[in-house]
Amino acid sequence: MIYAVWLPLLMPFLAVPVARRGAEQLRPRTAAWALTALALVLALSSTAALGMLALAGALRLSFVAEAAHLSPQLLGAGLPATVPAAVPAALALTGLGVLVLDRARRHLRELRAAHRQFRSGASAGDLCVRHDDRPEAYALPGRPGRIVVTTGMLRALSAGEREVLFAHERAHLTGRHHVFLAAVEFAVALHPALRGLRAPLSYALERWADESAAQATGDRALTARAVGRAALAARAAGSSARPRLSLTATAGPVPRRVTALLTTPAPAARLLPRSLACLLLACVAVSATAVLDAATDLHAGIEVAQGEQGQQGHAAFGDGD
């Protein structure tokens, strides 16, 4: 168990560069799902590995073993590195738990503050107009989700470009893209090596919304022009504070997005090259299998220790007779 349990902790360092390269060759929607699923599997596998390291070490402490009716001698046989490895694992697990809870509270606080701020603003359906000369627009998740746009952004775009902008931000809300962002944010909190998936996921989500807006308006050139003009206007005015889980059409590598919109999409969805797909599947399989193998070994060791302790108890009872 002590050897297999390290594999899930190391696997993200190999999988992230491969995933970043592979995401560029997938359709935006497919890339977003694949990146999010990969991040969650790797993060949960590494967290489970830390938990088993901490548990294996804790069970070798005499008072824990006695409380669990285990034989410490059998549990500790041949594994001198278990207890030293368990200490940093337990510390890391505690720190990660605190970090995840803090991040969740921060995101919820930001979303609630934003919704309170726009509750009294001018709105029509899911559209909320904020009186501000700085050009800005973003999708604010929540119940209900809102498209927040400033008067400065409305003045910067033509009527057709505004419709593209609204369609783009509405695609973020209907596609629940903030859930993808939140999942990867929590995965990064559980394993910092996964932070390399943030940028490709953000790009995939914006491209997903771009394609949805182009389909809704029926004009890819207009969509590209609206995205470009909105981004130029927003960057000229400077960035402003908005919730981290909100998405905006002005984010990410806009020139790449504009180029993609002006390029005729392929008629069939592209798949990853076989080598990249096999490597990513291998990373996921190794992580999951290593966790399962370590859990099986730990469970077997606990059963042996419980059985031995039970036999000693029965023997002592018999001697007493």
Question: pTM of the full predicted structure?
Answer: 0.83
- Per-residue pLDDT at 229: 93
- From the centroid of its chain, how far is CA 202? 11
Cβ atoms of residues 222 and 160 within 8 Å? yes
The one-digit pLDDT tens for each residue of the chain (321 residues) are 556 778 888 999 999 999 998 888 888 999 999 999 999 999 999 998 888 888 777 766 665 566 656 655 555 544 455 667 777 888 888 888 898 898 888 888 888 877 777 665 555 667 888 888 889 888 888 878 889 898 999 999 999 999 999 999 999 999 999 999 999 999 999 999 999 999 999 999 999 999 999 999 999 999 999 999 999 988 876 666 677 778 888 888 999 999 999 987 655 445 666 777 787 888 888 888 888 877 777 666 666 666 654 444 444 434 444
- Per-residue pLDDT at 109: 85
- Per-residue pLDDT at 36: 94
- Per-residue pLDDT at 279: 79
- Per-residue pLDDT at 321: 45
Among residues 269, 256, 194, which one has the least CA distance to residue 38? 194
- Per-residue pLDDT at 62: 64
Please report the beta strands in 47-205, taking only residues with DSSP state E, as ranges in sequence order.
Answer: 122-124, 127-130, 137-140, 146-150
Q: Which residues of 68-103 are buried (b: 16+ CB within 10 A; e: fewer)?
A: eebbbebbbeeeeebeebbeebbebbeebeeebeeb
Contacts of 155 (CB under 8 A, 6+ apart): 135
**Burial label, 223 (beta-carbon count in 10 A; 0-12, 13-18, 19+):** buried
